[in-house]
Amino acid sequence: MNSLAALESPGSKSNVPKTRSISGKILIALTGGIGVGLSIVCYPFVAPALRKHCLPYVPATTKQIENVLLSVRAASGGSKLLDIGSGDGRIVIAAAKAHRIEAHGVELNPWLICYSRLSALRGGVFDRTKFFRRDLWKFNIAHYDNIVIFGVEQMMSDLEQKITAEAQPDSTIIACRFPFPSLQPVRIIESGIDTVWVYKKLK
């Protein structure tokens, strides 16, 4: 009777240690790690929506690429092409292959930049392509005679101002999906989603 009372006494300490589930800790750690990893991977794709102009990643169709290549001017003295918002790099790589010109892409998403460089390496045009992780509004376009733009309607006015201010004379500007609001195209290829508007910077 005395021993039982001693065990039930409020002042006595239990000899049975409190245990926590190790597997529970591991599960929590794994879940948290996966969540952080997914956030890191997904953020570059979500971040454009937080900017003034949202330029989402939408891969070019095969027909769009063909229409762009029809519009590229490959001068005998050497031409340079820039794809603004180059995404997975397929326009840059296709131009480097088809016209054997130096082709560059500017893109903010680091994962797409890495993918583009690997694709260029696999495609055998790594030496004729470059991909820059830059803000397109701060990237100088003055050194290119072919400029490709896959924009959205809300940003075409600002892009037109950038083209007018920076592009070199006689450069070819190729707009896909949406035309410029004021500039007059010299050629329109296809219709619908695959439409390409071709412009010439005359002065």
Instruction: Tell me the two tokens of residue 61.
Output: 């169709």
Whether residues 146 and 113 fall in one domain:
yes
Using a cut of 0.75, tell me whether the model's pTM lies above it. no
Whether residues 154 and 76 fall in one domain:
yes
Whether residues 163 and 102 fall in one domain:
yes
Range of the domain at 28: 18-50
pLDDT digit of tens for each residue in the chain (203 aa)? Answer: 454 444 444 544 544 444 556 766 676 666 665 644 444 444 444 444 434 555 667 788 999 999 999 999 876 567 899 999 999 999 999 999 999 999 999 999 999 999 999 999 999 999 999 999 999 899 999 999 999 998 888 999 999 999 999 999 989 999 998 999 999 999 999 988 899 999 998 77
Instruction: Tell me the two tokens of residue 98.
Output: 């088809």
Let me know: does 48 contact 108? Beta carbons within 8 Å: yes
Q: Is residue 5 part of a domain?
A: no
Q: Is residue 13 part of a domain?
A: no
Q: Is residue 12 part of a domain?
A: no
Q: Is residue 7 part of a domain?
A: no
Instruction: Tell me the two tokens of residue 5.
Output: 């009372």
